[in-house]
Amino acid sequence: MLLKNKQAAIIGGGPGGLTLARLLQQKGVNVKVYERDLNSTVRLQGGTLDLHTESGLAALEKADLLDAFKANYRPGNDRLRILDENAAIFYDEHNEKPKGDFGDEFFRPEIDRGPLRNLLLDSLKPETVVWDSHIISLKNINEKWEIVFKNGTTAIADIVIGADGANSKIRPFITPIKPFYSGVTILEKNIFDSEKNAPKIHELLKGGKIMAFGDSKTISASQKGDGSIDFYIGLKTDPDWYKNSGFNISNNDEVLEWFKKEYSKWNNVWQELFEYKETAFTPRPLHCMPLDQSWEAQSNITIIGDAAHLMPPYAGEGVNMAMLDALQLSESLTNSDFTDLKSAINHYEQQMFARFAEVGKETMDNTEWMHSPIALQTILEMFNPIH
């Protein structure tokens, strides 16, 4: 095996990195995951994820974790309501029979990020994840990598896989290609105990998901298993608007006043999302890697997930692409047909490039029409609702 007696280092402990670690350990590879978080509970995990049969679920099945997923996923959480800016419901999956089951091509069961991360962590050997490992430098010494962390520790690895997201420290060692701004920025926030703190939105969600369109803007929200909701609003603007707009993004009162002006055509019910003051908004200018990106493979370093193919979240493919990256890379690295690591990495990267060219285009197309004057009409035609 190409990785026999070699040490693999995965930088980043998100779903992609943890899935890769599990798959490699199944094949007997020595692997460590270096994660910048202090521990597994220090950071609030984001909203729900829908896993797809051909990607996320395929990776979990290969990792022998499908039963664990079934024990933790949230049946019915995928039920969607489509609304306009006045909170009028135009499409409601709560009125329909459940769609599909495991094994069906279009079945997309939902799971909260926290439980997904935990089931992946639980599947790994003890001490696989090295917490509090914020990488600050990487150096290639005699065909090995020396990794230096902010806490003063170092590690040596034969192969490094960057699973460290949008601001990857590993990507610059592979390619100078940078992402471009999509034209859309989102503000993201979590509201605890939504039944108490956002009762109108809680009722609209009905335990599932909502997407609202109007005036070339969006609001999306999902109910989480802990009773909270995760939501984000999206609008076309320049990438630095929240820095130059004259209000403090950390001040909820000021953000509310901005919302009342910017979303003046929207019903007052949406203000409930902004009146909750216990959590702050996170601004996220959405970027995308060039769809035609490519580079020459190296023999001991590669990237997966957002580090490889960052894109906006408007196709539901981010985590699924990352987990499929993990599956395809693990199969390449442990495939005896390859005579050297460079060939194995190249095989994975060529598959990744082709997938991203297709999925990235779909994502950018979605980002554009969802923030256009005809967004509601477009999505209703896609879902073809009865009313």
**Residues of the binding site for FAD:** 50, 113, 306
Cα separation, 233 vs 235, in Å, equals 7
CB < 8 Å & 24+ apart, contacts of 144-150? 144/300, 145/9, 145/300, 145/301, 147/9, 147/11, 147/34, 149/34
User: What is the four-CA torsion angle of 111, 113, 118, 121, rounded to 10 degrees?
Assistant: 120
Output the known binding site for NADPH: 43
Nearest alpha-carbon partner for 342 in 307, 300, 290, 383: 300
Q: Rounded to 5 degrees, what angle do the CA atoms 205, 364, 219 make?
A: 25
Q: Rounded to 5 degrees, what angle do the CA atoms 177, 181, 186 make?
A: 135
Output the known binding site: 43, 50, 113, 306
Backbone phi and psi for residue 146, each to the nearest 5 degrees, phi listed first? -100, 120
Give DSSP secondary structure letters for 71-138. Answer: HH--TTTT-EEEEETT--EEEEGGGSPPP--TT-TT---EEEHHHHHHHHHHTSPTT-EE-S--EEEE
**Site of tokens 């990020």:** 113
* Count of Cβ atoms closer than 10 Å to residue 23 Cβ: 26
Residue 327: both structure tokens together: 């599956």
- The type of residue at 192 is F
Backbone phi and psi for residue 189, each to the nearest 5 degrees, phi listed first? -160, 155
